[in-house]
């Protein structure tokens, strides 16, 4: 097993400046939580939003939600930061996942769920910062490509979603609720991003706060921001007279976007133990 691990690629990345953000769409943390609490007593707004939505994920009816949306809930550094930010606020902490979404390796966020980038350390030499990674493959990409996450199994036969769920519970401290939003997405224009995002962002007017980062210098994400996020945001703000509550997830610091998608070193030992009999 050790020789197999040593054959995996080690990569040293020089830190790149963080990409530009969409700060005009974000409400600073913790002001965003204060605004949510203020809106909580606005029964007219709540009724208007719920009439527009038609149906809400059930847990949004149980109280204010601090929310992170991901393909699959997993304890990478951005998820661990999210849990750390919100664990003392006394509200529901929810990671929403979409088990019907399809695994496509060219998407870096999805690829990282099947080939885990583990951060082995951060270096600094001659004023230059770097990140050292070891990537460990846990699925057969040939058979997994294009399949729903719910149907993919790891190389040792465990369901991929089950593995990530157990990994999150092992690595993360703090109470976090994992919810499968696939059926709700089906009922709110799955396949039409602009129409879906109008409904999605409306969830964060009076029922919760969305934690997210939008790196507009990335070609694909920049297009998403221009063609989906901004039009949907503007629609919701105009319709209800207030802005969706979105706050920045990761700090503006030297860490790269790759770092926030990566895992702490302890994950390497967990995965190696799973792989030793494969």
pLDDT in tens, 19-55: 446 889 999 999 999 999 999 899 999 999 999 999 9
Q: Are 2 and 200 a contacting pair, CB within 8 Å?
A: no
Nearest CA to 213 out of 70, 113, 93 is that of 70
Structure tokens at 274: 């799973």
pLDDT in tens, 116-174: 999 999 887 776 778 999 999 999 999 999 999 999 999 999 999 999 999 999 999 88
Q: Are 161 and 150 a contacting pair, CB within 8 Å?
A: yes
Nearest CA to 150 out of 162, 137, 142, 136 is that of 162
First-to-last C-alpha distance (Å) of the chain:
10
Per the omega criterion (within 30 degrees of 0), is the bond before 185 cis? no
Give pTM, 2 decimals.
Answer: 0.90
Percentage of the residues of the chain whose pLDDT score is greater than 70: 91
Distance CA 164, CA 167 (A): 5
pLDDT at 95 over 80: yes
Among the residues of the chain, which ranges form H helices? 2-7, 31-39, 43-53, 77-86, 108-114, 141-144, 160-171, 182-186, 193-202, 219-224, 230-240, 257-261, 266-275
């Amino acid at each position: 097993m050790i020789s197999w691990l040593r054959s995996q690629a080690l990569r040293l990345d020089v830190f790149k400046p963080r990409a530009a953000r969409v700060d005009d769409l974000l409400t600073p943390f913790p002001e965003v939580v204060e605004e949510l609490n203020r809106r909580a007593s606005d029964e007219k707004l709540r009724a208007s939003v719920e009439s527009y939505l038609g149906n809400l994920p059930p847990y949004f009816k149980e109280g204010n939600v601090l929310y992170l949306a991901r393909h699959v809930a997993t304890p990478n550094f951005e998820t661990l930061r999210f849990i750390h930010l919100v664990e003392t606020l006394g509200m529901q902490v929810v990671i929403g996942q979409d088990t019907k979404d399809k695994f496509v390796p060219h998407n870096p966020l999805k690829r990282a769920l099947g080939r885990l980038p583990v951060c082995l350390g951060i270096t600094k030499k001659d004023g230059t910062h770097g990140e050292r990674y070891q990537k460990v493959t846990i699925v057969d990409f040939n058979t997994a490509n294009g399949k729903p996450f719910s149907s993919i199994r790891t190389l040792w036969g465990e369901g991929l979603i089950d593995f990530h769920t157990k990994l999150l519970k092992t690595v993360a401290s703090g109470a976090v609720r994992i919810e499968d939003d696939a059926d709700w997405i089906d009922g709110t224009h799955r396949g039409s991003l602009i129409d879906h995002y109008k409904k999605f962002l409306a969830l964060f007017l009076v029922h919760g706060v969305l934690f997210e980062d939008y790196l507009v210098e990335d070609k694909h994400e920049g297009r998403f921001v221009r063609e989906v996020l901004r039009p949907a945001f503007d629609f919701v703000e105009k319709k209800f007279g207030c802005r969706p509550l979105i706050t920045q997830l990761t700090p503006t610091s030297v860490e790269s976007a790759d770092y926030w998608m990566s895992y702490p070193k302890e994950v390497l030992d967990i995965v190696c133990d799973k792989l030793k009999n494969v």
